[in-house]
Structure 1
Amino acid sequence: MASGMIIAGLGLATIGFGARFVLRTMPTLGKKMADAVGSMPKLDGKSLANSKYYKGGFEPKMTKREAALILSVSPSANSQKVRAAYKKMMLVNHPDRGGSPYISAKLSEAKDILDK
């Protein structure tokens, strides 16, 4: 019975100290969040135009140009370069390693189009 009272008292003390910590850090946390939001880059057309990533989704039927963009090779690249780029991308995007099945299917489709 006494040990139950001690555990209950320690639990209440823990909750009290935790609430005190949260209440003391709230004003500085709000200021840090406002500073972080203010320092974020703006999403305007100019900053997106300088991005090194391809802007846009997948086309309904994959073209040779899109396949080359996906694998980051030239549309006229030889099959060795295409296979090497495919292998490199699949190591990162394979579903067994946490990648997306959709992206891996698109990578395979791109390799098939460029290998022809």
Structure 2
Amino acid sequence: MAHFLIIAGLAVYGGSVVAKTVLRKVRMRGLHPPEAINNPSIIHKYKYAFDDPMTRKEASLILGLPKGATETEIMQAYKVLISLNHPDKGGSGYMAMKINQAKEVLLSKDKP
């Protein structure tokens, strides 16, 4: 009886790991890069270094948002991009820093 419970527990655990992996893959397929990434005129215009300090326009381009995006839209774009570029998941630490900085710039109330 004890062996059956151990085997059943391992089966449930294995199934949950597989389900979690499948759900993560399904979610990742639904994510598309922002339009700014695929727009050749933007790529040509901004193919060099970032501005210092970061402007609101540049922050919007990094997060792929239009001018005047709401706080909810900013946070949604931030969560998608940071999950794809986080250093713990194989992403670039520099890009994660720039994504964080873009979120802070767009959410700050004191900048024009």
Task: Give the TM-score band, short-chain normalised.
Answer: 0.5 to 0.7
Give per-residue Cα distances to partners, 1:35-61, cap 9 Å, x unaligned. xxxxxxxxxxxxxx9366342220121
Question: Could you tell me the TM-score, scaled by structure 2's length?
Answer: 0.55
Partner of 1:109 in structure 2? 101
1:68 paired residue among 30, 48, 60: 60
State the identity %: 40
Residue 80 of structure 1 deviates from its aligned partner by 0.4
CA distance in 1, matches of 2:77, 2:52: 23
Give the secondary structure class of the aligned counterpart of 1:87. helix
Supply the RMSD in Å over aligned alpha carbons.
1.8
**Structure 2 gap ranges (5+):** 1-38
Q: Does structure 2 retain, via aligned residues, the 8 Å contact 1:93–1:104?
A: yes
Q: Segments of 4+ in structure 1 off by > 6 A?
A: none
Question: Could you tell me the TM-score, scaled by structure 1's length?
Answer: 0.54
**Structure 1 gap ranges (5+):** 1-48
Larger Rg: 1
CA distance in 1, matches of 2:56, 2:101: 10
In the alignment of these two chains, the number of paired residues is: 68
